[in-house]
Structure 1
Amino acid sequence: MNDQNKNLILATVLSFVVLMGWFFLFPPQEPPQPEAPVAEQTAAPTGETTAATPPGLAQEGGTAPPAAGEAAADSPRIAIDTPSLTGSIALTGGRIDDLSLRNYHESLDPGSAEVSLLSPVGQPQAYYAMFGWAPGGDLDFAAVPGATTPWQVESGETLAPGAPVSLIWDNGAGLVFRRTISIDDKFMFSVTQSVENTTETQQRLAPYGLVARHGEPDSKKFFILHEGVVRMSDGALEEIKYNKMPDLDVVAREQAPAEVTSVADKGWIGFTDKYWMTTLIPAQGSGFTSVAKYVPGSDIYQTETRLPTVTVAPGETREITSQLFAGAKEWETIKNYQAAGVDRFIDSIDWGWFFFLTKPIFWLLHELHAIIGNMGWSIIVLTLILKIILFPLAYKSYASMAKMKELQPEMEKIKEKAGDDRMKMQQEMMALYKKEKVNPAAGCLPILLQIPIFFSLYKVIFVTLELRHAAWLGWIRDLSAPDPSSILNLFGLMPWGVPDPASFFAILSLGVLPILLGVSMWLQQKLNPAPSDPTQQMIFAWMPWVFMFMLGNFASGLVLYWITNNTLTFIQQYTIMRRHGYKPDIFGNIKSSFGFLKRKKKDAK
């Protein structure tokens, strides 16, 4: 076997192994399943479940906020109506617990339901944000607003951009609490909490914010995707998956009640899903305590921002303002919030290990889409740009391969001359490579470099919202989903259905794009004659079709990238080979491959 074939087989096998591992570790996304109803939880008195601040991290005189309690879903409400959000705020507890994303739907059908982000207790998988004050000094929880506090509307009828609402509650013991909530035209709430002390003694309390989820959300788990807690603490990003939070609670029984981080200057914390996020953002430039915890008795996952205790003198009013992001992880929107002062907010998007590639790749894709207006064509142009960037390396690689073909007669002479002396043969081969300035491993380098680029583009297509429900042309209406056509019903010409995408048999339901992928790989293979060894010939004959089935249920955008990449690689390699005096006999190689299959069939008989 010559060195060129060895390198080609090595690169192909390596790519196959990597993609096989990728296929099993990161299977294609299954369609969302309907949520199963859960039993309504029994209401618990305010403050019945509390968590003390861990030793050494307590604010002076401060107490941690209670674990999120219960409030009726039919609470009196004040409406939320913005260009991006609809919903309401419960006056019981003052919770932001009813929120839908106006511009996003559950399916491609424009008549389908809007994506629901937050929901009140009493609904399946309640999810909400709440703000309040933890008591300090001589105060107790009855003296501060909590989960069941009956807030009254002081001003405002509907929360909208430029139209804030103000809530008020008098504890009847000399403290008057107010909460003013405003919102922009996207997904950012501003919450200003104030307390007026009408008593004759100073009072001590600590403001807080919390986001709570009842139960772990129903979603398919992917190693490539982070869902759970995401937080930034003085420039350090941390991600905690849901299945790790109960482990924290086990540790908490012996050491501390929560995962706690002191933030000196800038930070935020919340829960992130694949496309949506709810995040608490204290005033940047001020310290706070960032908390992630799990309450096993209530099955509640909770994130908190605990702010320093304030002292309110008699007749004084103190206030604190913080923000809440609740919405879609739109790159442009989050980037604008970061520019407005939210530290490293763009990193709330899960860029992955290859962030140094995924970030610029997505930026380029975003800019191309702004110019072209179609994500499918943008992916094709992006692939062309990547090929141009890698062209010098590819040229060197293919030139080396062409040179190896020219040296083939001399290499055969060296093998005949060396006979069984393997060491002598290797020495003379290396001398020949050095003399002719040929690197026999150069052919593998472009393939190895394409692997992280392939993974990075897969990550971009998988996690970024901008490709969700993005159409290309014809039947491809969602580049983040597999090709919906199927060879099993002749691509829609026959009246019968196809296997469910989540079933095992879906791998047989090949669409147009996966078939084009297999053909493009097969044609690229025909630039070189098939190896003389029958085993190698068999591996090469099956490889394109194995990849075709493996990638058949991957996102259409990724398959489109791979088809484009294969096509450009074919043109590139063919042109370079011709420039170096080697004319690939493509039709002859195709004919010989069919001849090989005929011989195999004859031998079998």
Structure 2
Amino acid sequence: MDRNQAIGLLLSGLLLIIYFQFFAPEPVPPAAKEQTTEQSVSSPAQAQTALDNSGSSSEDDSLQLERNRQQYGVFAPAASGKAQEVTVESDDLILTLNTKGGAVARVELKNYNDGEGQQLVLLDDESSNFSLLANTQRGELDLYNLFYQAENTSFSVSEGDTTEVVLSARLDGGSEIRQVYSVPGNGYKVGYRLELRNASGALSSSNIQFLWSNQLRPLEQNMEESRRRSALNYYTADGSFEQLSSLMGDDAEEETIEEPLKWVAMKQRFFSTAIIADESFAQANLKVDSPAEENTTLVKSMSMAVGMNIEDLNNGVLSYSYYLGPNDQQVMTKVAPDFEENIDFGWPVVKWISKYPISYMFHWLEQFISNYGVIIIILVLVIKTLLFPLSYKSYISMAKIKVLKPELDEIKEKYGDDMTKAQQEQMQLYQKVGVNPLSGCVPVLLQMPILLAMFNYFPNAIELRQEPFLWADDLSTYDSILDLPFTIPFYGDHVSLFVLLMTASTILYTWSNNQASTVQGPMKNMQYFLPLIFMFVLNSFPAALSFYYFVSNIVTFGQQAIIRKFVDDDKIRKILEENKKRNKNKKKSKFQQRLEEAMKASEETRKPNNRGGNKNNRGGK
């Protein structure tokens, strides 16, 4: 080795030492090596997904776009992308959207809790599913399967304002599709617009189908009551309200509506989700199904397929609204025409009473009193005061008949088994003394619609939901003081104290009435069975209802005790005797004549049958 070679080797060694000392890369940790290995052996599907989401390879992105273009046409750029959640919070709700599809992914109601005390989730992407199907040049496309982009992922709406959340997607040829949600600062009606810009002819002329399936989760403690009061409701453009509600264990109920619709609502006992047309929907197919009784995780399954007019979208905008909130009459009245019909107020006459005077009185008292048990007591006092003239008239009528009891007994004894003659004599006696035997029943019948109105109002009053009073934790459900280890048929597996108090007070009220009644024999004892029947019927009904009936019975009993103190039977008898003298020669009224003729005709009809029966009997002997 000459001197030049030696110098070259020395310099090479020196350079290697300097390189490894100052410029060599850090050794890779074992964990990093494993991670790199996992990524390298990932499946083709995972690699494609990572590629779609990261957008790291422009060449592969171009290939994917070409494949999408063959399948989706002008919608190809929106066929792949990255999913993100967009949250909008107002005073009343938290609305979550997903850029994958742009549909509603979750709705939370801020002012309500579920049966377990957690913030109420009205729907989420596990229980609810949306589709918006449209025909394109490449076939049917679900517009809720495209990927959209949002300017922000979090929005806050202040009271009195409305925030628009825009989810947009660029299409081929400079076109754009946008979903716009209009969320108010307070309230539960969310506006929706679907806009197609610079894309004339992208969709065919057939209708767009909006699909919504919803698995109603339990929001209340009483599953039986929740199922009984859940239904799929719709309202036609000509003002007709209709309902689908399959019973437990029955087959699914399904209906196709060919006429224009204004709104369709999936209604639970206290909450509803609905779609509302700006003008009208073309038609709809609706379906509701109840699960097996032992299923405790599902109230009902509901679905709708609503036909929308494609011409609106081809003109640029397809718009409608969602309702995602409580069954509150004061709120629903402002949502859409007759939207408060989702609250079951009962039959026509009963509905008018519960929907207007009772509801208005209840909400007026609510402004000043926060305790709903006290509101119910005041409600009873107001109603009983207004009905006091009818109660007084009914008691006076019964007192008059009670005074006539000796004369009525004489008539029964005189005519024995001749019921027709006995009834004729009783009617003549009533006419002479000026007593109408039906006058005691009329005031009671006039009060019945109010009792029935309460029967419908309290089970549907969301104001009572989760409101405690005395030992009742929730006035909207039964007040159980004892859970039974078994189920009693037609009664249940618990004991409601308010129902027991109502039953006892009804028996007391019945006993009080019998003191002024002439009813004798089995009919008098039968009156005590009615309270026992209601004890079974109302045991699982809301505590507010049985508490109202209990307080109503106590007040009625007190009113009758007061009336009894001021009513003198001797004075009543004196008045009846004077009427008897005054009407001694009075002719029978036309009504009485017709009644007697009808009674005679009935008696004549029975006589031939009796004679025929006797002849047959003799012939048999």
TM-score by length of 2: 0.66
CA spacing shift, 1:319–1:114, aligned 2, 3 Å: same
State the match for 2:213 in structure 1.
213
**Structure 2 counterpart of 1:288, from 248, 271, 281:** 281
Contact 1:118 1:128 in 2 (8 A): no
What is the CA distance between 1:392 and its match in structure 2?
2.7
What's the secondary structure of 2:360's corresponding residue? helix
State the match for 1:14 in structure 2.
none
Contact 1:280 1:305 in 2 (8 A): no
Does the alignment pair 1:581 with 2:573? no
For each residue in 1:318-376, what CA deviation from the matched residue of structure 2 results, as whole angstroms up to 9, or x when unmatched? 22432111111222222233xxxx22222232223232222022222222222322222
**Structure 1 counterpart of 2:372, from 360, 372, 375:** 375
State the match for 1:522 in structure 2.
507
**Structure 2 counterpart of 1:432, from 429, 443, 453:** 429
Q: Quick one: distance in 2 between partners of 1:167 and 1:177?
A: 8
**Structure 2 counterpart of 1:269, from 240, 251, 264:** 264
Residues 136-175 of structure 1: matches in 2 within 5 Å? 138=137, 140-142=139-141, 146-154=143-151, 157-158=154-155, 160-161=157-158, 162-172=162-172, 175=175
For each residue in 1:99-132, what CA deviation from the matched residue of structure 2 results, as whole angstroms up to 9, or x when unmatched? 122221123x6xx222221121xx2xx21455x5
Contact 1:134 1:207 in 2 (8 A): yes
For each residue in 1:60-99, what CA deviation from the matched residue of structure 2 results, as whole angstroms up to 9, or x when unmatched? xxxxxxxxxxx99x95211132222224112111110211
2:427 maps to a residue whose letter is: M
State the match for 1:346 in structure 2.
340
What is the CA distance between 1:509 and its match in structure 2?
4.7
When the two structures are aligned, how many residues end up with a matched partner? Answer: 465
State the match for 2:237 in structure 1.
233
Residues 355-366 of structure 1: matches in 2 within 5 Å? 355-360=351-356, 361-366=358-363
What's the secondary structure of 2:134's corresponding residue? strand
Does the alignment pair 1:454 with 2:441? no
What is the CA distance between 1:167 and its match in structure 2?
0.9
What's the secondary structure of 2:426's corresponding residue? helix
Contact 1:92 1:147 in 2 (8 A): yes
- In our comparison, the structure showing a higher alpha carbon Rg is 2
Q: Quick one: distance in 2 between partners of 1:78 and 1:292?
A: 31
Residues 272-421 of structure 1: matches in 2 within 5 Å? 272-283=267-278, 286-294=279-287, 301-304=303-306, 306-310=308-312, 312=314, 318-337=316-335, 342-353=336-347, 354-360=350-356, 361-421=358-418
Q: Quick one: distance in 1 between partners of 2:557 and 2:494?
A: 27
What is the CA distance between 1:449 and its match in structure 2?
3.8
What's the secondary structure of 2:508's corresponding residue? helix
Contact 2:233 2:241 in 1 (8 A): no
What's the secondary structure of 2:144's corresponding residue? coil
For each residue in 1:5-28, what CA deviation from the matched residue of structure 2 results, as whole angstroms up to 9, or x when unmatched? xxxxxxxxxxxxxxxxxxxxxxxx
Q: Quick one: distance in 2 between partners of 1:310 and 1:516?
A: 60
What is the CA distance between 1:300 and its match in structure 2?
6.8
State the match for 1:197 in structure 2.
198
CA spacing shift, 1:242–1:510, aligned 2, 3 Å: closer
Residues 525-544 of structure 1: matches in 2 within 5 Å? 525-527=510-512, 528-529=514-515, 535=522, 539=526, 544=531
Gaps of 5+ in 1: 1-70, 250-257, 487-497, 584-605
CA spacing shift, 1:203–1:427, aligned 2, 3 Å: closer
1:225 maps to a residue whose letter is: R
Contact 2:245 2:253 in 1 (8 A): no
Bigger relative contact order, structure 1 or 2, given CA contacts below 8 A and separation 6+? 1
Contact 1:358 1:456 in 2 (8 A): yes
State the match for 1:483 in structure 2.
479
What's the secondary structure of 2:224's corresponding residue? coil
1:273 maps to a residue whose letter is: Q
Contact 1:204 1:311 in 2 (8 A): no
Does the alignment pair 1:113 with 2:118? yes
Q: Quick one: distance in 2 between partners of 1:390 and 1:434?
A: 27
CA spacing shift, 1:500–1:278, aligned 2, 3 Å: farther
For each residue in 1:495-531, what CA deviation from the matched residue of structure 2 results, as whole angstroms up to 9, or x when unmatched? xxx3279775975854442332233223223324498
What is the CA distance between 1:429 and its match in structure 2?
0.7
Counting aligned pairs with the same residue, the percent is 24
Q: Quick one: distance in 2 between partners of 1:177 and 1:509?
A: 56
1:165 maps to a residue whose letter is: V
Contact 1:97 1:129 in 2 (8 A): no
Contact 1:155 1:167 in 2 (8 A): no
Q: Quick one: distance in 2 between partners of 1:563 and 1:413?
A: 39
**Structure 2 counterpart of 1:85, from 77, 93, 99:** 93
CA spacing shift, 1:223–1:399, aligned 2, 3 Å: farther
Q: Quick one: distance in 1 between partners of 2:89 and 2:528?
A: 60
What's the secondary structure of 1:578's corresponding residue? helix
**Further displaced range: 176-185 or 302-311:** 302-311
Does the alignment pair 1:176 with 2:176? yes
What is the CA distance between 1:140 and its match in structure 2?
3.7
Contact 1:156 1:164 in 2 (8 A): no
Contact 2:312 2:318 in 1 (8 A): no
State the match for 1:468 in structure 2.
465
State the match for 2:442 in structure 1.
445
What's the secondary structure of 1:165's corresponding residue? strand
What's the secondary structure of 1:373's corresponding residue? coil
Q: Quick one: distance in 2 between partners of 1:520 and 1:206?
A: 65
2:461 maps to a residue whose letter is: T
Q: Quick one: distance in 2 between partners of 1:581 and 1:154?
A: 83
What's the secondary structure of 1:169's corresponding residue? strand
State the match for 1:21 in structure 2.
none
1:444 maps to a residue whose letter is: C
Gaps of 5+ in 2: 1-78, 290-300, 571-621
